[in-house]
Structure 1
């Protein structure tokens, strides 16, 4: 997780080999060190370069948004800390600051024309015509809470850093020998023989005495800790919540039905076959033979075609591509009738219809309730914002959530207790409203009794909420979780004994016994896998098992856990194959990815070196103040 954060956080920083250039130009400046202290209101200072609290907060917000989208739920401040987002953002700020300070010492700049061009080239700011739009520019920046001046300054800083990198990064390439080694390493395949050691190989594990269970519980007490629970009241305002079916008259429903009768109609369809001729004389002769009693199928054969050639399919009249054929096919009275010769788009045609499905119209009684609901929803959408404003006015006037809801004929609902994952104290998973994940995430970011702005509900609605109680996280007693502790102990002990048994058998394998001899003595069945490839996955071995298979020489032996269940595999490598084709076996873009990885490593080294050149100060108090405004 932290690796992905580090990669994403430096995607805006240019990559390249700068160390040798900076040394040779003599622009290192004086030696420095990372300090932790105060530098005014700046979060980070590097030499004369400062990073403001606003810049830190915006970067922090962006990382929070990225992680929330990846996880499908809004993460809390505590979760962000556990993921290391604060430290990753700080590393991003420090890296940018030392690069900016080096740019300052090198007197690098950017013309106004070039800066304007860079802003105009950003696809996020293009309008419907594909060109830069001032309105889109303002709207996008407003949506992320960034001022125009801040964006332009940030864009200028990134472009100046890029100048340093581009001076030396162009032309860097991956050595041929490295590509060859990579191809050989990644393309190697292995064959293994193995057997599975499962629960049948050990004695059944039963529950131990209470003393053992309590000792296990004490050692794993955090795993049984009760999470924080919160009670939530909420009021949904959606078209569905305020729809009034009785407000729509029967006359309005029938008028809508008649105005949109096509919506409830299924057109007539016919299964159509056509026989196309090259000239009118051949078509007329064939038609005469059909009238005299020849089967249509025989006429198709006489024309040198097959019935597959003749099939057009089952279609509505409007779906037939040739209007002349459509008209003729739908003029035939019965299934089995054959038309006369038609002047079709591709020549003379004879048409046969083999099946007719009449037009159907859903009766009014069948669809009237659906129509009534649709019309009522239109009215509900029209009045929704008025109800929203009236509810907000009531709350502003001192009404409670329940009172404001009752005045607008809305229903206040209650979640008695839920943790941040939507589970009740009994372990059940809530499933109450479509916006549940957003509601719970917002409630766990709120305070008990606080009045909160609504979150979005459905496509055009709102959902107001309040936290009614907070039950802090606490340690559960052994008696509360005895059943769960017993189950966990049995499962863990079963896994331990299976692993112990498998490792003992693997030791025998290393001691000189063959896998077949061990399998026969222990009652296992030997199985085989061929062509396992490094870095791939496998249904039996899984990714971690594959890694273990390749973690040794050509006669590697060992045991690995099954990716499913609690079995383990005892294995021996029986064959190693090298790829044929060398570099050509590498997939598209691999060389570019290796080059990018080398550049990333060089960038890390360069930034680390700059941090020893410039005195870098981190103001933890400024960071705390920046985050406290979230």
Structure 2
């Protein structure tokens, strides 16, 4: 089973994400690597795959969602291909997730729940791809991203609405789960259970025939195990990098530009002053006047404010306009009419009544056009370069959309086209282990692996507002094993190891049978007549097993030992055909956690999570039954077959 769909169940939030739609479209925007057409192409048209209540899941939505989930998993495992993903449960898991999402949303709407427009707006605005350089939502970026992904605003909003309804309905579904103590104690005691045993290995290398293997046998072995040598999908990418430096010698603000900028910003270059101000804000005018009198009597503002349970705020050095924006025009007028050291006010803002003390005044002289020229030219140059770069990227996108090739645009813009060798999704070159892609390829690859070979070139952002790349996928090499002749030495070795493993299994089975009949493991090994590595003795608890499992370091023989009966022996294949383990379980010592409050509490907490997940699962099933789910089996089969590259007949 695919690790993505196996591991997602390990936590409550994982279960929540599994049972509600995890925002595949939003995720696509966040990672900026999903094309509108999908990796393998969507199902032609938008037939209905599943009817869920009053909603419809279309075949194109399902196809795109499966492709997106596959690419997400493939970034973690570059050897993964679409067939393994689909056959391993990826298709069915995405389908169920989508059905659950639609069912939850329809159930919520049926009973009067709603995700308001403002709430959806807030979720959309939080996506980094939709934000500008200032971190705020950018309408331009939003529209551009929608267009690049081929997604309508309504589709995006519908997805967010479903997510928000799921969050409202499912968050509390598992709360209040009760776990009886009689259930907790036996399971907690299991963690203290100890097992003692022995592990021996019968290595394959001990049985390898050193004579060259027969070519026919090697060829048959290769044909039967070709998937073992399959190289994942590779893509050759042509790209042209460009950045804002190309405009450094082209952008020169004119005298008219400089004069116009100065005239439009006269306030900025006029003489001004800043004041260093402390203030106190009080709830009533009477209270403000009373505190003002206290300060005028000789008490410092800080002491006076503290005497009435308040504190003085240091506004710092500020202009009148900025102070008016932070408080009110009346407060700013009051503070900027005062003299240094005297208490001024009160004046009112939305926060209350202000009194202020001006600590010092700084006069800033104005600048003539000549004095401001250097500053203006630098600012105009920066803004005009930014504008020119934005215009260039927009023009290139228009050219690609109208049919121009990467070579056409590169020639017109004097860009140098580079090409990669056939790369895996992680940037590795299977034909050259020393190959290192350029740093920019880290951002280029996800987009390139979401494109089709016949797709138009794309412009992607490398460094926001500074560097871009125009890219085109020129060749897609589907996942396939290399010719036998190219890897014959490796296949010869694997064949010989496989043959040795078969012989090792016969010996391991004989040893295991003898131990099961009462023979000591050491004597059974000696009777086999084969010199084997020393026996390893094991003494461990289930708590040790759980701890190692969390770290992902559990030896397979130890896992098997904790599922065996006392006095028995079993065989287990070693990783990578290295041989066979013989595991003998000598003794089981039961645990007793009745007096271990820490362990009981931890076990109870884990059970609450499991029970809560079960309640959530049952609640979703009930919602599905309430709204109704009708699957179109023919359409689902068509989507599955198309993803696998089969014809409608399944061939």
Change (3 A) 1:210 1:57: closer
Asked if 1:553 is matched to 2:565, the reply is yes
Alpha-carbon deviation of 1:173? 0.7
Q: Given that residues 540 and 563 in structure 1 are in contact (C-alpha distance below 8 angstroms), is that contact kept between their aligned partners in structure 2?
A: no
Change (3 A) 1:556 1:118: farther
- In the alignment, which of 193, 198, 202 is matched to residue 203 of structure 2? 198
Asked if 1:412 is matched to 2:420, the reply is no
Deviations 1:561-589 (A, max 9, x none): 55688254433333333345445353875
Asked if 1:154 is matched to 2:157, the reply is no
Q: Given that residues 397 and 459 in structure 2 are in contact (C-alpha distance below 8 angstroms), is that contact kept between their aligned partners in structure 1?
A: no
User: RMSD of aligned C-alpha atoms?
Assistant: 5.3
Q: How does 1:359-374 map to 2 (within 5 A)?
A: none
Q: Given that residues 179 and 607 in structure 2 are in contact (C-alpha distance below 8 angstroms), is that contact kept between their aligned partners in structure 1?
A: yes
- In the alignment, which of 401, 408, 428 is matched to residue 406 of structure 2? 401
Alpha-carbon deviation of 1:614? 6.1
Asked if 1:493 is matched to 2:510, the reply is no
- 1:184 and 1:242 map into 2 onto residues whose CA distance is 72
- In the alignment, which of 194, 197, 203 is matched to residue 189 of structure 1? 194
Gaps of 5+ in 1: 15-39, 128-133, 245-378
Gaps of 5+ in 2: 21-45, 129-134, 250-380, 643-651
Change (3 A) 1:613 1:124: closer
The residue number in structure 1 matching 2:513 is 507
- In the alignment, which of 107, 111, 120 is matched to residue 108 of structure 1? 111
Deviations 1:443-497 (A, max 9, x none): 3433335432223335642222122334556676544543332122122223333
Q: Given that residues 238 and 457 in structure 1 are in contact (C-alpha distance below 8 angstroms), is that contact kept between their aligned partners in structure 2?
A: no
Asked if 1:525 is matched to 2:501, the reply is no
Q: How does 1:252-291 map to 2 (within 5 A)?
A: none
Asked if 1:571 is matched to 2:576, the reply is no
- 2:473 and 2:119 map into 1 onto residues whose CA distance is 46
SS of residue in 2 equivalent to 1:173: coil
Deviations 1:286-338 (A, max 9, x none): xxxxxxxxxxxxxxxxxxxxxxxxxxxxxxxxxxxxxxxxxxxxxxxxxxxxx
Asked if 1:616 is matched to 2:629, the reply is yes
Change (3 A) 1:519 1:381: farther
Q: Given that residues 108 and 114 in structure 2 are in contact (C-alpha distance below 8 angstroms), is that contact kept between their aligned partners in structure 1?
A: no
Alpha-carbon deviation of 1:183? 0.9
Q: Given that residues 225 and 474 in structure 1 are in contact (C-alpha distance below 8 angstroms), is that contact kept between their aligned partners in structure 2?
A: yes
- In the alignment, which of 587, 605, 616 is matched to residue 592 of structure 1? 605
Deviates more, 1:199-208 or 1:549-558: 199-208
SS of residue in 2 equivalent to 1:586: helix
Asked if 1:448 is matched to 2:440, the reply is no
Q: Given that residues 557 and 571 in structure 1 are in contact (C-alpha distance below 8 angstroms), is that contact kept between their aligned partners in structure 2?
A: yes
The residue number in structure 2 matching 1:236 is 241
The residue number in structure 2 matching 1:355 is none
The residue number in structure 2 matching 1:87 is 92
Deviates more, 1:137-146 or 1:574-583: 137-146
Change (3 A) 1:59 1:49: farther
SS of residue in 1 equivalent to 2:198: strand
Alpha-carbon deviation of 1:599? 3.6
Change (3 A) 1:532 1:89: same
- 2:441 and 2:212 map into 1 onto residues whose CA distance is 39
Q: Given that residues 555 and 572 in structure 1 are in contact (C-alpha distance below 8 angstroms), is that contact kept between their aligned partners in structure 2?
A: yes
SS of residue in 2 equivalent to 1:231: strand
Q: Given that residues 439 and 455 in structure 1 are in contact (C-alpha distance below 8 angstroms), is that contact kept between their aligned partners in structure 2?
A: yes
Alpha-carbon deviation of 1:507? 1.8
- 1:543 and 1:220 map into 2 onto residues whose CA distance is 26
The residue number in structure 2 matching 1:302 is none
Asked if 1:212 is matched to 2:217, the reply is yes
Deviations 1:113-157 (A, max 9, x none): xx6998799898699xxxxxx966999998797658636743664
Alpha-carbon deviation of 1:508? 1.9
Change (3 A) 1:516 1:4: closer
SS of residue in 1 equivalent to 2:458: coil
Change (3 A) 1:218 1:386: same
The residue number in structure 1 matching 2:489 is 483
- 2:382 and 2:136 map into 1 onto residues whose CA distance is 32
- 1:136 and 1:103 map into 2 onto residues whose CA distance is 29
Q: How does 1:423-462 map to 2 (within 5 A)?
A: 424=429, 426=431, 428=433, 430-448=435-453, 450-457=455-462, 460-462=466-468
Alpha-carbon deviation of 1:188? 1.6
Q: Given that residues 185 and 600 in structure 2 are in contact (C-alpha distance below 8 angstroms), is that contact kept between their aligned partners in structure 1?
A: no
